[in-house]
Structure 1
Amino acid sequence: MASTTAEAATQLSIRPYAPTDEAAVLNLAGADRLPGQPLTTPAMLAEALAGRSPIDTGWWAELEPPTTEVIHDETGRVLGVVSYTRRPSDDAGFILWLHCREDPAVAEALTAHALERLGTRMVHAFEFASALTLGLEGLPARHRPATLKALKAAGFTGRDLWRYMRADLPIAGLPHAAHVTVTECEDPPGRRLEAREGGEVLAEATIGRPVAGIGVLWWISVAPPARGRGLGLALLGSALDLLTGLGAREAILYVDDDAPPGGAERDRTAANALYDRAGFTEVDRLHSFTRRP
């Protein structure tokens, strides 16, 4: 859709989301879909509208039920949607998710409207992973330039938090870890892999149950005494093979490489090198935002 002009923007109206808006909102979410993300389904949208998510469940439980509103033109055509809420524990506001086909005027109007309704309080944006996506915590800055610009123009400060990566499955040529045990886990729902030696856990990984052929590597770590032996790459090979066996045709992962300099315990240099070596490619960087009163 071509960018809405300032003159046309004056004819836009905002109203509460209605069930008849479902198809339009699904199309808006689909227009913003990133590689490695499933199409948003009616069931996923229903969860997001209710303020629930299979990821970051505890954070969502602290929020009030969200308000979701759509913006439309004089013909009634829905051009965008925004969902926002408040957290009673600290009175902070949250813009949870926003879609507008990256129309600058619509992004600005939805952002301004949510801030007006949230009032003079601390407001965070794109802080948690919603049910609309598969763990996408943050705004993909390169793919959402109009929304990024609207947030910054409204006084939000961004934080570059995550590296979002994907790869096609299966990946040939990766080693596999010996003595791996696999157990079910529920938070997040999926499988936990542990590489053991003499009964001691040397490395572990968590994968998600595939959704629409997409599997997630949520976490992989190697104990300090076992590092430098290739165990991380071997466990990654085992985890990706398991995802393939569960029906995944592609895999995604998130690297939280926002640790400050000198933070050795959270240093993700080795993790980034591991995923690059395995054939993962970066799709985007994920940002969260804060606006102070």
Structure 2
Amino acid sequence: MTTPRSATQLSVRPYAPGDEPAVLDLVGADRLPGQPLTTPAMLAEALAGRSPIDTDWWAELEPPTTEVIHDEAGRVLGVVSYAKRPSDSAGFILWLHCREEQALAEALIARALDRLGERTAHAFEFASALTLGLEGLPARHRPATAKALHSAGFTGRDLWRYMRNSLPFSGLPHAAHVRVDEGEDPPGKRLEVREGGELLAEATIGCPVAGLGVLWWISVAPPARGQGLGLALLGTALDLLTRLGAREAILYVDDDAPPGDTERDRTAANRLYDRAGFTEVDRLHSFTRRP
């Protein structure tokens, strides 16, 4: 195939073990603040169709196909991984990297769609093993890929706010009588505040990876809201992440609730994180294309 980027003849072939360094470079070129450097072990998990996050969703897929696009000299310029889900026959573009060259993104997306066939296709629907929980495409950092998806007929959905903060972070209150237990899914710690056996607040943090810790969840029961308990538990959780070796904390806010949906409204959560010094890195989008 040829692309508008040049007159160079480009070819697509299956990923081979010798492609590992080039593919890791491609993934690393798209790395966001607050994300670890992708290791060979992380890439191996992604190639095998496994992920420590969104594990159950990955288990529903057929083994993924991963292909690279290269020039006449054999230089790997991009990579795409895709799979089908037998339960509903949907197709998934799982991850794609090409140093944000739109022509390459378009070629890789077209290749995946051709191989998936005529079916509903999703892209960047859930987190892969290449990142620490990115459940979508960071639209501001990956504009060429987003544009290529739209050009291919995909419709995007703005689903998550991705945020980070440096640790240690001082100035936050701390919750009293916090119980800390081991967490399994995902691996980490579960913090609880109870009164008379009643759960008032809880938080879940991940075990730090390369100095990066994730706040997966924090919640305050309705009767205990408005008393500063959420901010205090957040302060305790961030201190615990620091003691576990984290130098940065990241989190994700699913603030895609439509107007009037008070059950899923995240205004208070966003205000809490802003107050605690977190800054927005990007918005995470997922995409769907109907046949």
Confirm or deny a common fold (TM above 0.5): yes
Percent identity (aligned): 85
Shift of 1:266: 1.2
Distance in 2 (alpha carbons) for counterparts of 1:116 and 1:5: 17
Q: 1:17 corresponds to which residue?
A: 15
Residues 213-269 of structure 1 show CA distances to partners (whole Å, capped at 9, x for unaligned) of 000000000000000000000000000000000000000000000112222121100
CA contact (8 A) 2:8 2:72 kept: no
Residues 100-144 of structure 1 show CA distances to partners (whole Å, capped at 9, x for unaligned) of 000111111001110111111000000010000000000000000
> Do the aligned partners of residues 152 and 10 (structure 1) sit closer, same or farther apart at CA in structure 2, a change above 3 Å counting?
farther
**Structure 1 outlier segments of 4+, above 4 Å:** none
Instruction: Give the AA of the match of 1:170.
Output: P
Q: 2:104 corresponds to which residue?
A: 106
> Do the aligned partners of residues 175 and 69 (structure 1) sit closer, same or farther apart at CA in structure 2, a change above 3 Å counting?
same
From 275, 278, 285, the equivalent of 1:277 is 275
Superposed, which structure 2 residues align to 1:1-293 within 5 Å? 6=4, 8=6, 11-293=9-291
Q: Match of 2:263, SS?
A: helix
Residues 173-229 of structure 1 show CA distances to partners (whole Å, capped at 9, x for unaligned) of 100001100001110111000011222110000000000000000000000000000
In structure 1, stretches of 5+ residues that fail to align are: none
Instruction: Give the AA of the match of 1:53.
Output: S
Distance in 1 (alpha carbons) for counterparts of 2:3 and 2:48: 33
TM-score of the superposed pair, with normalisation by structure 2: 0.98
> Do the aligned partners of residues 100 and 270 (structure 1) sit closer, same or farther apart at CA in structure 2, a change above 3 Å counting?
same
Shift of 1:8: 2.5
In structure 2, stretches of 5+ residues that fail to align are: none
Q: Match of 1:265, SS?
A: coil
CA contact (8 A) 2:83 2:91 kept: yes
Instruction: Give the AA of the match of 1:95.
Output: I
Shift of 1:7: 6.1
Q: Match of 2:6, SS?
A: helix
CA contact (8 A) 2:178 2:192 kept: yes
TM-score of the superposed pair, with normalisation by structure 1: 0.97
Distance in 2 (alpha carbons) for counterparts of 1:228 and 1:263: 20
> Do the aligned partners of residues 54 and 200 (structure 1) sit closer, same or farther apart at CA in structure 2, a change above 3 Å counting?
same
Distance in 2 (alpha carbons) for counterparts of 1:92 and 1:254: 26
Distance in 2 (alpha carbons) for counterparts of 1:188 and 1:249: 19
Alpha carbon RMSD of aligned pairs, Å? 1.0
Distance in 2 (alpha carbons) for counterparts of 1:165 and 1:9: 41
